[in-house]
Amino acid sequence: MTAIDLDPQIDEVLKTMAEAGRPPVEESTPAELRANFVEEVKATFGPVDEMHSVEDRELGGVPVRIYRPVETAEPSAALVYLHGGGFVVGSIETHDGITRALANRAGCVVVSVDYRLAPEHRYPAALEDSWRVSEWVLENAGGLGLDVDRIGVGGDSVGGALAAIVARRARDAGTPLATQLLLYPVTSRDCNTPSYSVFSSGYGLTRNAMVWYWEQYASGSDGSDDPDLSPLALQDLRGLPRAIVVTAEADVLRDEAEAYAQRLRLAGVETESHRYEGLIHGFLRLTGVVRRADQALDEIAESLRASLARSR
């Protein structure tokens, strides 16, 4: 089935997906996709990490969930987290396992953002919500028990795109973040890199699905030259926060994410990048069924811990 050496447990995941017989993304409704996504995460993530406290509230008028792994009187490092799901699916609930793991294993507070979804709320709704929360956290860090100099932003897939854009907005606003954690991020709307051809179907996320997701979020807009849609379109990357960029070998998004990491380096931004061989897009949601994915989550959390230990 595969032209590359996939992790054997990833092979099993792909076989299970094929046997489920669900229609492709582009032939489904948002409601169907959201329900399927919830089921898939429940089946594949596994046990979640325990927290000292988990609090649902609103920051800047946007629903969030705040995870505190331990009780401490000292100001904590923190990560504002933006979930993936093609701008159409996903929530603080579906990413509860990932955000708990990052909080516990990186030893930081995580503020998970429940931004508005497309197509009910199109561009720039998700970005506006993501920026509103990030700005609120930076301006009110003390009241949240956070160290304003050790706050990062992160996300997976389209959440990675939102995180990269938020990092640029924070730089431009004069309130820079310490770190950006970009997990197999979207960085361009073009959908035309070599990895889009090699892994266009049969590896989970397909090219057709990504084209459809973009249409739900920003129909009628090219977006390839708009840095609020495509982080790769940003001309000046100097002064952005240090970055951790994670990619999967068998992922349509691989090449654009790695191109962004390279451009960050060329702009003088301290950038740590990791390609996980034999894994597919979204592998961090598979920690209950793919051992390498759980190990990767440990490794990513350790990189995040080290980065957030340093001030911006």
Active site residue 195: no
Place of tokens 């390498």: 292
Q: Which of 91, 96, 255, 281 is catalytic?
A: 281
Residue-wise burial string across 46-57, b where 16 or more C-beta atoms lie within 10 A, e elsewhere: beebebeebeee
Active site residue 157: yes
Q: Could you give phi then psi for residue 273, rounded to 5 degrees?
A: -130, 145
Q: How buried is 264 (Cβ within 10 angstroms: 0-12 exposed, 13-18 middle, 19+ buried)?
A: buried
Which DSSP symbol is given to 87?
T
Q: Which of 7, 114, 228, 251 is catalytic?
A: 251
Q: Token pair for residue 228?
A: 């609020």
Query: Prior bond to 124 cis, omega within 30?
Result: yes
CA distance 246 to 240: 17
Q: Which of 91, 157, 188, 307 is catalytic?
A: 157
The dihedral over CA atoms of 251, 257, 259, 261, expressed in degrees to the nearest 10, equals -140
Q: Which residues contact 129 (CB under 8 A, 6 or more apart)?
A: 62, 113, 115, 116
Active site residue 134: no
Q: Is 258 helix (H, G, I), strand (E, B) or coil?
A: helix
β-bridge pairing 62-68 and 146-156: unpaired
CA distance 290 to 279: 9
Give catalytic residues, as residue numbers: 157, 251, 281
